[in-house]
A and B are shown apart, each in its own frame.
Chain A
Amino acid sequence: MWDYSDKVKEHFFNPKNAGAVVDANATGEVGSISCGDALRLTLKVDDDSEIILEAGFQTFGCGSAIASSSVLTEIIKGMTLDEAAKVTNQDIADQLEGLPPEKMHCSVMGREALQAAIANYRGEVWTDDHEEGALICKCFAIDAVMIEEMVWANKLRTVEDVTNFTKAGGGCASCHEDIEAILEKVLAEKGEKFDPTAAPVEAITKIAAVKAPLTNLQRIKKIEQVLESLRPALMADGGDVELVEVLGNTAYVNMTGACNGCQMAAMTIAGIQQRLMEVMGEFIKVVPASEMKKLVNIEVV
């Protein structure tokens, strides 16, 4: 059984706003039949203020799909359409106190239904912008389609490349065989051959591994450089990282943006730590700056 949060269970066992809104003036219907979920969201929107007065859902799906639908209706009631349009799937997952990585797509479906309903109200046609594939990396919830696209778009050649561009494989590493299979497939389509020892693509390899001993300043600069190289990937997900302090072998960082409070933050930090250790050639511990405050009593900005 999934490790569902109490909040997920609460919304599943006692769903809010189940059923269609009777005199709805906006409807969004989305789904992913292969993963077994489909959702119809109906809204009653006040024509003058564009405030969502009522929201109802009908869902064919698993426990977390029903819970995501239920919590979505609770989030958006009382919002204007402009406000509701800014609701992300992470907002839905956060309201549910987290979802298992395999179930994050349930929250995505909720966001898509909302966007479809808003488009429907405004007389626009909503088009889906993402295709969903089999889940490959369970640590960061990255699916096969995403990896394939990144391999094509960025001419990736190794598992390390894939990890640097998508984060997939940067956690427990057990999906590396699956990532290699994707690389083999895509490279074969491009008429190339997968070579596990190939040099990583440009742009992320520029940081040379540390060989000689460094001064304290050089060391901090180097750590900073590694973090800089990882920021684009984080920013692609709406997050960011900043170096706050280096004390001994511990680097204190602030996870900001979407990373802040994200349930994956711990995995992300582990990934950063791994990369730092590879470059620095020494044991480096990466710790959220909030921990430093407790330890050394320094005011953290």
Chain B
Amino acid sequence: MKDIYLDNNATTKVDPAVVDMMIPYFLEQYGNPSSIHKFADGVAKGLKHARQQVQALIGCEHDSEIIFTSCGTESNSTAILSAIKAQPNKKEIITTTVEHPAILSVCDMLEKEGYTIHRMPVDKAGRLNLNAYKNLLSNNVAIVSVMWANNETGTIFPVEEMADMANAEGVMFHTDAVQAVGKIPMNLQYTKIDMLSLSGHKLHAPKGIGVLYLRRGTRYRALLRGGHQERGRRAGTENSASIVGLGKACELALEFIKYENTQVKAMRDRLERGLTDQIPHCFITGDIYNRLPNTTDIAFEYIEGESILMLLNKAGIAASSGSACTSGSLEPSHVMRAMDIPYTAAHGTIRFSFSRYNDMSEVDEVLRVMPGIVATLRKLSPYWDGNGPVADPEKAFAPVYA
């Protein structure tokens, strides 16, 4: 069996049709889009078309609301830093404890500079409390930044409702939608979302290209300056091949959005049902009723994620884990900690994330090998005894912790 890629929330394969679109921009139309000669005259047209393709996918009102950036991280930094520069008197930021580091690290830095950061907690299913959110909104808040969907669990936050609430208080609203765009339908023109980040490589475009959606009229201060590109809102020569590729990828994502929510979802559902049926002491994390169609994050108790991944990799299956060891940090995933998942389970979480390139036979293969992998590792675990966890595991095995 060929290798199975179930790590599409980390990054995706570039669609061959996207690659085909890009190649002429390396070899023929390689001129600087700002130049006036025939090596460049097709580039501006290509960029314009790509802008419209992105516009169609996210449903924004104007194509000029699309700013091409180098990645989701740049879009996130630009959004937050723009909001605070444009509103220097507002010294508070609202976000959540489960955001991507691309938001949290920027907030940490601003906190050191004197900003008050409200990091909203989540419950055990990864959900926010909107009443608590309402109470945080005030005239002192420069920006709310809440992810549309969580990268680890796929849990979807009610960002449209939250944007309405922010707008009613006159507060700017940004969403990191890197995981959501292309997986769930959206129509930004009917929302009060002011800014949105997306990343090409999460939807079968190449790495190194992203977008900041900036609603027309939203007060803005550019991060990168020094050129008229993107109407002066993001200086730097356009990554024309990747922009054109992203446009094509957005067109395809729109085409496949129903497939994503039916066929891809069916693969995910079959996998998680099969795993939780066959394997004792495992559970799905996040808000299972309100999730991306392609993502499942399962905690296998009493064993550790990196070990699982190494055995999966040996079986030709690629996934990822919220365990500390896979990242080289000492802490398990902050998302699992925020949901109050016990350590013995948080370290054993495995995320399987699908794309339209997967098929049911791959699901069957994972279902075939996974029970054996879990059993093998549990045999080595001090928390496991024969057919089940040791009685009262936390007490039976209470090591001296360093």
Task: Show the binding face of A for B, using Cβ within 8 Å.
Answer: 1, 12-13, 15, 18-19, 29-40, 57-66, 100, 102-103, 108-109, 112, 116, 126-128, 130-135
A36 to B402, CA, bound (A): 11
A39-B399 contact in complex given A58-B380, A60-B302, C-beta closer than 8 Å: yes
> Most A CB atoms within 10 A — which of B332, B344, B397, B402?
B402
A58 to B397, CA, bound (A): 11
A65-B382 contact in complex given A29-B398, A35-B330, A130-B402, C-beta closer than 8 Å: no
The answer to whether A39 touches B402, judged by C-beta atoms less than 8 angstroms apart, is no
The answer to whether A36 touches B382, judged by C-beta atoms less than 8 angstroms apart, is no
Size class of B's contact patch? 20 to 34
Complex: chain A residue closest to B384, CB-CB: A58
The answer to whether A29 touches B400, judged by C-beta atoms less than 8 angstroms apart, is yes
The answer to whether B399 touches A40, judged by C-beta atoms less than 8 angstroms apart, is yes
Number of residue pairs spanning A and B whose beta carbons lie under 8 angstroms apart? 112
> Most B CB atoms within 10 A — which of A102, A127, A134?
A102
A39 to B382, CA, bound (A): 7
The answer to whether B310 touches A12, judged by C-beta atoms less than 8 angstroms apart, is yes
B211, chain A: closest CB distance, angstroms: 29
The answer to whether B330 touches A128, judged by C-beta atoms less than 8 angstroms apart, is no
The answer to whether A15 touches B402, judged by C-beta atoms less than 8 angstroms apart, is no
Interface 9-residue window, one of B50-58, B129-137, B320-328: B320-328
The answer to whether A62 touches B306, judged by C-beta atoms less than 8 angstroms apart, is yes
B38 at the interface (CB under 8 A from A): no
Residues in B whose Cβ lies below 8 Å from that of A38: 382, 397, 399
The answer to whether B381 touches A58, judged by C-beta atoms less than 8 angstroms apart, is yes
Residues in A whose Cβ lies below 8 Å from that of B343: 33-34, 36
Complex: chain B residue closest to A181, CB-CB: B112
The answer to whether A35 touches B382, judged by C-beta atoms less than 8 angstroms apart, is no
The answer to whether B380 touches A62, judged by C-beta atoms less than 8 angstroms apart, is no
Residues in B whose Cβ lies below 8 Å from that of A127: 400
Cβ proximity bits B298-315 to A, threshold 8 Å, 1 near / 0 not: 000011111100100110
A286 to B330, CA, bound (A): 34
Main secondary structure of the interface of A (DSSP, over half): mixed
B270 at the interface (CB under 8 A from A): no
Contact of A36 among B310, B332, B397 (CB under 8 A): B332
The answer to whether A30 touches B313, judged by C-beta atoms less than 8 angstroms apart, is no
Complex: chain A residue closest to B344, CB-CB: A60
The answer to whether B400 touches A34, judged by C-beta atoms less than 8 angstroms apart, is no
Complex: chain B residue closest to A36, CB-CB: B347
Complex: chain A residue closest to B318, CB-CB: A1
A63-B310 contact in complex given A37-B304, A39-B382, A58-B380, C-beta closer than 8 Å: yes
A66 to B323, CA, bound (A): 15
A2, chain B: closest CB distance, angstroms: 8
B333, chain A: closest CB distance, angstroms: 11
A103 to B343, CA, bound (A): 19
A178, chain B: closest CB distance, angstroms: 12
A134 to B330, CA, bound (A): 6
A15 to B375, CA, bound (A): 15
The answer to whether B313 touches A1, judged by C-beta atoms less than 8 angstroms apart, is yes
A64 to B306, CA, bound (A): 9
Residues in A whose Cβ lies below 8 Å from that of B148: none
A167 to B241, CA, bound (A): 45
Cβ proximity bits B373-402 to A, threshold 8 Å, 1 near / 0 not: 000000111110000000000000111111
Residues in A whose Cβ lies below 8 Å from that of B331: 34-35, 134
The answer to whether A59 touches B382, judged by C-beta atoms less than 8 angstroms apart, is yes
The answer to whether A19 touches B399, judged by C-beta atoms less than 8 angstroms apart, is no
Complex: chain B residue closest to A58, CB-CB: B382
Residues in B whose Cβ lies below 8 Å from that of A65: 304, 325
A15 to B379, CA, bound (A): 11
